[in-house]
Amino acid sequence: MGVMAGTLDLIQRGYVGAEIRDGTLYFSPKLNHRLDGLSLPMRFRNTSVEATLKEGKLTVATQTDGFNQSIKVGVGDEVREIKDEERYAFTL
């Protein structure tokens, strides 16, 4: 379990650059052609989130789970509020 968790942590923080600051989920992805098409699910503030790296974009989508919450997501200086069942593509 520790190795599996470490691998996921490496991908989330090392390659996708996921971190939480001031109540906002920030990404600072390290683009790598081997990771093109990478999609990973995560939870942030009781909201299911799917982050996808593809073709120079990071797309963040929220999935409905009955809470109807919005979350703040940022890449660089750009921060967006994403509501339930919405998606936003950040150009990298």
The 10s digit of each residue's pLDDT in 38-89 is: 999 999 998 999 999 999 999 999 987 776 789 999 999 999 999 989 999 9
Please report, as a single letter, which amino acid is at residue 53: L
Q: What is the pLDDT of residue 78?
A: 97
Question: Global pTM?
Answer: 0.87
Q: What is the pLDDT of residue 61?
A: 96
CATH superfamily of 2-91: Maltose phosphorylase, domain 3 (2.60.420.10)
Angle at 73 (CA atoms; ends 90, 65), nearest 5 degrees: 110
Structure tokens at 3: 């190795």
Q: What is the pLDDT of residue 53?
A: 95
Q: What is the pLDDT of residue 49?
A: 94
Q: Are strands 78-82 and 38-44 parallel, antiparallel or unpaired?
A: unpaired
**Burial grade of 83 (CB within 10 A; 0-12, 13-18, 19 or more):** exposed
Q: Answer whether residue 20 shows pLDDT above 90.
A: yes
Q: Enumerate residues 6+ apart whose C-beta is below 8 A from 76.
A: 28
Tell me which residue of 70, 91, 90 sits closest to 82, measured CA to CA.
Answer: 70
How far apart CA 61 and CA 52 sit, in angstroms, is 8
